[in-house]
């Protein structure tokens, strides 16, 4: 039965998951002043109680002034902030769950707040735009790399089960990957994706040194950006390998491959999606994600479009074939903590549609 593939245990290094379901990181902005509340801890606990294999938290800011662009997004530095995350970990573990923080820096991506000097590879927020801030200096780059490493060490100390670096969707790490926002001529830029991957590789090396060899390190990547849905960092499998292999060599254990729709092939001539190609080229475990279990994709949800429950049969067939190892589930888990249990028990008639209003509530 194809469903068995979703509920097969997964082990990698110290990570021992009961199934293949990963709660995808979803920004919630329910942490006033950057401190996660008891409601946030209960929100994650409910997913653990309902058999989510691994929870990846909403993005949480590393120790750079402008790592976040919303004062209600949680931070991952400071005594109060880390104490709040310790409660999240303890609540999740008490419910039998496993959890990883997503460590984040938004870079020059615009938001509702400006919380300090903006970090940017080249002072750009999108391809073809005019510079609106100064490029990061060598000292600022070094401090940012250290901020990620310190956050990773704190995550391990607090008892998290893994960490994820946010290297996707047009935020800081991805701004270094993207030729449209990285026009540097030094060691952190250049005409090739391999050269522009150096910033992420240096973060991964520092993180790996901070957490040791056995602590799982995930990196989330995407081809698309919030600034341009059609753009790609890698337009061929050869470019994709040139992008990903240095990251694997630097310490990335698992690639979390974000697509707007998981079923779309990454390159012509093959049905493999982004996660499928990443696994094929590097041999590393991968997480697929993108509109799992829903009829509509998530960008449209911010415009008010609802989504109905959709079959996951095609997903299960790909998982059973071994194209990828884990399945990232976002909006259906945001609205319905019991989604995994309902899928396992065949209670498909109880699956819920997704409405934009769910973004304003911690179910």
In tens, the pLDDT along 12-60 reads 999 999 999 999 999 999 999 999 999 999 999 999 999 999 999 999 9
* Per-state percent for the chain, helix, strand, coil, to nearest 5: 35, 15, 45
Measured distance CA(28)–CA(62) in Å, rounded? 17
Q: Is the pLDDT of residue 1 over 70?
A: no
Residue 286: exposed, middle, or buried by beta-carbon count in 10 A (0-12, 13-18, 19+)? buried
Q: Is the pLDDT of residue 112 over 90?
A: no
Q: What is the tens place of the pLDDT at every residue in 268-280?
A: 999 999 999 999 9
Q: Is the pLDDT of residue 6 over 80?
A: yes
Task: Report the share of the chain in percent with pLDDT over 70.
Answer: 98
Beta strands 99-104 and 254-258, pairing class? unpaired
Measured distance CA(322)–CA(187) in Å, rounded? 37
Q: Is the pLDDT of residue 335 over 80?
A: yes
What φ, ψ does residue 130 adopt, rounded to 5°? -90, 145
Q: What is the tens place of the pLDDT at every residue in 230-243?
A: 999 999 999 999 99
Helix (H, G, I), strand (E, B) or coil at 227: coil
Are 328 and 9 contacting, i.e. CB atoms less than 8 angstroms apart? no
Q: If you average pLDDT over residues 309-324, what whole number do you get?
A: 96
Measured distance CA(73)–CA(27) in Å, rounded? 7
Q: What is the tens place of the pLDDT at every residue in 164-202?
A: 999 999 999 999 999 999 999 999 999 999 999 999 999
**Residues sharing a CB contact under 8 Å with residue 279, sequence separation 6 or more, in sequence order:** 255, 285, 286, 323, 324, 325
Measured between its terminal Cα atoms, the distance across the chain in Å is 31
pLDDT at 303 (0 to 100): 63
DSSP 293-321: TBSS-HHHHHTT--B-B---HHHHHHHHH
Provide the CA 313 distance to its chain's centre, in angstroms: 24
Q: Is the pLDDT of residue 299 over 80?
A: no
How far is residue 59 from each of residues 101, 152, 183, measured CA to CA in Å? 7, 13, 26
pLDDT at 30 (0 to 100): 98
Measured distance CA(307)–CA(355) in Å, rounded? 7
Q: Is the pLDDT of residue 321 over 70?
A: yes
Q: Is the dihedral of CA 157, 109, 330, 283 positive or negative?
A: negative
pLDDT at 116 (0 to 100): 86
Are 178 and 230 contacting, i.e. CB atoms less than 8 angstroms apart? no
Are 13 and 253 contacting, i.e. CB atoms less than 8 angstroms apart? yes
pLDDT at 142 (0 to 100): 98
Structure tokens at 81: 């902030």
Q: What is the tens place of the pLDDT at every residue in 130-155?
A: 898 999 999 999 999 999 999 999 99
Task: Report the share of the chain in percent with pLDDT over 90.
Answer: 90
Residue whose C-alpha is closest to residue 195's, from 167, 223, 175, 176? 176
Cα-based angle 222, 225, 229 (whole degrees, multiple of 5): 105
Question: For 6-15, 112-121, 223-232, 291-300, which range has the lowest pLDDT when averaged over its residues?
Answer: 291-300
Q: Is the pLDDT of residue 300 over 90?
A: no
Q: If you average pLDDT over residues 114-126, what whole number do you get?
A: 91
Q: If you average pLDDT over residues 108-128, what whole number do you get?
A: 90
pLDDT at 202 (0 to 100): 98
Structure tokens at 36: 């996660």
Q: What is the tens place of the pLDDT at every residue in 192-219?
A: 999 999 999 999 999 999 999 999 999 9
pLDDT at 356 (0 to 100): 87
Q: Within 10 A of 231 (CB to CB), how many other CB atoms are there?
A: 17
């Amino acid at each position: 039965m194809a469903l068995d593939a979703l509920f097969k245990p997964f082990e990698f290094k110290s990570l021992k998951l009961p199934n293949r379901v990963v709660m995808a990181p979803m920004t919630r902005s329910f942490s006033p002043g950057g401190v996660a509340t008891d409601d946030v801890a209960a929100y994650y606990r409910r997913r653990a109680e309902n058999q989510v294999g691994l929870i990846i938290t909403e993005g949480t800011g590393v120790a750079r002034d402008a790592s976040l662009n919303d004062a209600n997004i949680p931070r991952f530095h400071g005594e109060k902030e880390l104490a709040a995350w310790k409660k999240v970990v303890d609540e999740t573990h008490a419910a039998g769950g496993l959890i990883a923080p997503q460590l984040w820096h938004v870079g020059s991506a615009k938001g509702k707040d400006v919380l300090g000097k903006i970090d940017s590879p080249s002072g750009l927020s999108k391809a073809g735009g005019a510079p609106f801030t100064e490029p990061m200096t060598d000292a600022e780059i070094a401090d940012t790399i250290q901020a990620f490493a310190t956050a990773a060490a704190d995550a391990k100390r607090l008892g998290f089960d893994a960490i994820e670096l946010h290297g996707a969707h047009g935020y800081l790490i991805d701004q270094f990957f993207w030729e449209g926002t990285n026009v540097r001529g030094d060691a952190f830029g250049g005409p090739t994706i391999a050269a522009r991957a150096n910033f992420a590789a240096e973060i991964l090396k520092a993180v790996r040194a901070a957490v040791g060899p056995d602590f799982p390190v995930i990196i989330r990547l995407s081809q698309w950006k919030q600034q341009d849905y059609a753009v790609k960092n890698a337009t061929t499998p050869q470019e994709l390998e040139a992008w990903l292999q240095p990251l694997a060599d630097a310490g990335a254990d698992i690639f979390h491959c974000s697509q707007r729709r998981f079923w779309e092939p990454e390159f012509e001539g093959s049905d493999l999606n982004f996660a499928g190609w990443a696994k094929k080229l590097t041999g590393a475990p991968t997480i697929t994600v993108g509109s799992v279990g829903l009829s509509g994709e998530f960008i449209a949800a911010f415009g008010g479009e609802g989504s109905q429950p959709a079959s996951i049969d095609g997903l299960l067939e790909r998982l059973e074939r071994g194209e990828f190892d884990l399945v990232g589930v976002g909006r259906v888990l945001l609205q319905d903590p019991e989604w995994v249990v309902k899928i396992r028990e065949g209670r498909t008639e109880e699956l819920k549609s997704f409405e934009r209003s769910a973004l304003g509530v911690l179910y």
